Amino acid sequence: MLCGSYVAIVTPFSGGEVDWDTLAGLIEFQIAGGTSGILPCGTTGESPTLSHPEHDKVVEFVVEKVNRRVPVLAGSGSNSTAEAMRLAKHARNCGADAALVITPYYNKPTQEGLYRHFHKIAAGVDIPIFIYNVPGRTGVSIAPETVARLSEIENIVAIKEASGSLDQVSGILSLCDIAVFSGDDSLTFPVICDGGVGVVSVVANIMPDEVAEMVSLANNGKVEEARKLHYHLYPISKALFIETNPIPVKTALAMMGKIKEEFRLPLCPMSEPNRAKLEEVLKGYSLI
């Protein structure tokens, strides 16, 4: 399971509630498109505004609907170590294959605090753990040296690296052999060329087959073919981040007729100028 294109799947809403039928349809769309794994309750899944019961139910629902066809990487992060452990235990108990655990946001722990956070969760829950580093969201970045220390723990198996820094990726891989997944779609190809193994993707929500193919080509040494797909995907990789994720990708899915265009505050609909830009890009890919 430690390679490929994982989709950070959106959480569709209808009338303020999770739209379960639509979520089931999105799961089938992903599996049919060749996605390697599915991540529910990540940032793209609007996890900060899901209640704890909703979060648990979304993970349970995805595990049930996927039915072992691909791995499920359950979002299990919190700025409370105890809460993150609870979420990871729930992920394990309901049958998820791994847990994605973000660096604690707002607290701004030291590197020693980060080490102890992940160490405690890994020691307390028998499930493979992906570290999630996204300093633009959390206000803290985990150092390559801390990642290397954590990689010595048996069930800390991968990192989703979304710092936007290839230097960070090189730093990690120069110190240990943990599996590195890109957390930035526009950097997936460079990350794999640097020794990474895949992506946890936003773009895969709308183009699962192309993202999966690009990652597969890169992982199998077909660099020039992968490079062509990288440049093909680059415009949409940038367009889906012209406003805060997941606003653009949910808007795109709505334009494609796959979900209702509904968010939870404080996220809100796109500005009209950015909506027009996104629509133009989607038309260029014949998605709408």
Active site residues: 132, 160
Residue 208 and residue 213: Cα distance in Å, rounded? Answer: 9
Conformational region of residue 131, where left means phi above 0, alpha means psi within -120 to 50, and beta covers everything else: beta
Crossing angle of helices 81-94 and 52-66, rounded to 10°: 30
Residue 76 and residue 174: Cα distance in Å, rounded? Answer: 28
Residue 62 and residue 39: Cα distance in Å, rounded? Answer: 9
Residue in 116, 135, 129, 226 with CA at minimum distance from that of residue 178: 129
Residue 163 and residue 153: Cα distance in Å, rounded? Answer: 23
